[in-house]
Amino acid sequence: MTHWQGIYQSKALDDVSWFEDEPTMSLQLIDEFAGKPGPAVDVGVGRSRLAIRLLDRGWHPVVALDVSNAALAHIAEIAQPTVDLQLIACDILQWQPQDRVTLWHDRAVFHFLTDQQDQIQYVELAMSTVSPGGTLVLGCFAVDGPTQCSGLDVCRFQPGDLAALFSAGFSLLASAQQDHRTPWGSSQAFTWVVLRRHG
């Protein structure tokens, strides 16, 4: 995935559409719905502070996973060194987690999986990785959101689409719409869902 490595090697922090100072929406949903802290993963962490904010709230260990080493190097630079932060450079579809998590977070990664088989593989991985009773917080472009991001095609979703895709292992707990403002002031419509692992 040289595409993402190239992005992080060439673009400043606020030179990408998905930049946000603070992962406010993610933290609101996690604080409201995810319950007591435990092991967590941020899938496609990029240069987001979410993994660090989770550590601050007592989540541990926190896996910050991204296909780009350059993104993870940034996280290593801004985080306090701790064994509770595990940086994993890998394609999410190749990840073989050693342990389960009680929180799985993904902002703006799943929507890049435009192939149905890849979506199925992602859902199966989430099902086997999130403990029963655990929470999955997922933010994707909404149906009136962009059709591309970073020059790549994306899928767009309503809450019901995501609930249906994950229904074999998860129940819909809550959903939200968000108008994300890019650093250059344009608007991107996001759909968020909070899913509870059943079983």
Ligand X SMILES: C[S@@+](CC[C@H](N)C(=O)[O-])C[C@H]1O[C@@H](n2cnc3c(N)ncnc32)[C@H](O)[C@@H]1O
Q: Yes or no: say if 63 and 41 are a contact pair by the CB < 8 Å rule.
A: yes
92 binds ligand X, rule: CB under 6 A: yes
Q: Yes or no: say if 199 and 171 are a contact pair by the CB < 8 Å rule.
A: no
Element (H, E) at 72: helix 69-78
User: 101-140: which residues touch ligand X (CB under 6 A)?
Assistant: 107-109, 112
User: 147-166: which residues touch ligand X (CB under 6 A)?
Assistant: 149
4 binds ligand X, rule: CB under 6 A: yes
Kindly tell me the sign of the dihedral angle through the C-alpha atoms of 91, 198, 155, 115. positive
Q: How far is the CB of 116 from ligand X (least distance, A)?
A: 15
Q: How far is the CB of 125 from ligand X (least distance, A)?
A: 11
104: nearest Cα among 156, 29, 163, 1: 29
Instruction: Kindly state the number of chain residues that form the binding site for ligand X, as judged by CB under 6 A.
Output: 18
SS (H, E, C) 115-157: CHHHHHHHHHHHHHHEEEEEEEEEEEEECCCCCEECCEECCCE
Which position among 34, 48, 59, 196 is part of the footprint of ligand X (CB under 6 A)?
Answer: 48
3-class SS at 59?
coil
Which position among 38, 39, 44, 134 is part of the footprint of ligand X (CB under 6 A)?
Answer: 44
Residue 79's CB is within 10 A of a number of other CB atoms, namely 17
- Using the rule CB under 6 A, give the single segment among 51-59, 67-75, 78-86, 175-183 that binds ligand X: 67-75
- Using the rule CB under 6 A, give the single segment among 38-46, 76-84, 169-177, 179-187 that binds ligand X: 38-46
Radius of gyration of the chain (CA): 15
- Using the rule CB under 6 A, give the single segment among 41-49, 52-60, 153-161, 184-192 that binds ligand X: 41-49
| Residue 78 or 199 with smaller CB distance to ligand X | 78
**Binding interface with ligand X (CB under 6 A):** 4, 18, 44-46, 48, 66-68, 71, 91-93, 107-109, 112, 149
